[in-house]
Structure 1
Amino acid sequence: MCRSIKVLRGEDGASDHEVYEASLQFVRKISGYRQPSKANREVFDEAVEQIEAASRRLLDGLVTRSKPEDQRVSA
Structure 2
Amino acid sequence: MCRSIKTLREPFTEDVTADDIEAAALQYVRKISGFRVPAAHNAEAFDKAVAAVAAATRELLETIEVRGSARRSPTG
**TM-score greater than 0.5 by the shorter chain:** yes
Gaps in structure 2 of 5+ consecutive residues:
70-76
> Which residue matches 2:72?
none
1:66 lines up with 2:68 in the alignment: yes
Deviations for 1:8-65, whole angstroms, at most 9, x for unmatched residues? 1125341100000000000000000000000000000000000000000000001122
Over the matched positions of the two proteins, sequence identity in percent amounts to 46
* Residues matched between the structures, number: 67
User: For the pair shown, which has the larger CA radius of gyration, 1 or 2?
Assistant: 1
Alignment partners' CA distance in 2, 1:33 and 1:15:
25
The alignment partner of 2:9 has SS state of: coil
Higher helix proportion, which one?
1
Gaps in structure 1 of 5+ consecutive residues:
68-75
TM-score normalised by structure 2 residue count:
0.80
Q: Report runs of 4+ in structure 1 exceeding 6 Å deviation.
A: none
Alignment partner for residue 46 of structure 1, among 38, 48, 63? 48
The alignment partner of 1:44 has SS state of: helix
The alignment partner of 1:4 has SS state of: coil
Superposed CA RMSD in Å reads 1.3
> Which residue matches 1:5?
5
